[in-house]
Amino acid sequence: MQVPEFTCLCPKTGQPDFATLFIDYVPDRLCVELKSLKLYIWSFRGEGRFHEAVTNEILDALVKATAPRFMRLTARFYVRGGIFTTVVAEHRKKGWKAPQRVELGALEEEASTDTGEH
């Protein structure tokens, strides 16, 4: 999921901070409901939070609500004072191991050169 309109406030200056959030996850029994996610993300608009703290707070809340096998939150904050900030936080369920990554581009390339003989 990509959330391009995340905002919170700098706790020191009160100036707005803007970020795009990227949420990658492997659900277990529950999944993120998008309307609820949107409302939760909006709740930070008037809140003063440091980038690292808010990223971890959001990840912790999503993990608590959904108990996923894996979840990664990447928060890419826009420039402020000449500095871009990217914060990455991850959760892995105990004992969960990622399956081998499938590269779809490689499969498409293979299919286009396939002779049809198997």
Four-point Cα dihedral 89, 64, 1, 4, nearest 10:
-70
Contacts of 29 (CB under 8 A, 6+ apart): 67
Domains and CATH numbers, the chain: 2-112 (3.30.1130.10)
Would you say the pTM of this structure is higher than 0.85? no
Q: How high is the pLDDT of residue 56?
A: 98
Residue type present at position 31: C
Q: How high is the pLDDT of residue 75?
A: 98
Rounded distance between C-alpha atoms, residue 94 and residue 1, angstroms: 23
Residues of the chain with pLDDT under 70: 106-118
50: three-class secondary structure by DSSP: coil
**Active-site pick, 17, 24, 31, 60:** 17
18: three-class secondary structure by DSSP: strand
Residue 10 falls in the annotated catalytic set: yes
**Active-site pick, 10, 24, 31, 60:** 10
Q: How high is the pLDDT of residue 113?
A: 62
Q: How high is the pLDDT of residue 83?
A: 86
Chain length of the chain:
118
Tokens of 5: 């309109």
> Could you tell me if 7 and 17 are in contact, meaning their C-beta atoms sit under 8 angstroms apart?
yes
Q: How high is the pLDDT of residue 117?
A: 56
> Could you tell me if 49 and 8 are in contact, meaning their C-beta atoms sit under 8 angstroms apart?
yes
Q: How high is the pLDDT of residue 112?
A: 63
Q: First-to-last CA distance in the chain? A: 37
Residue 60 falls in the annotated catalytic set: no
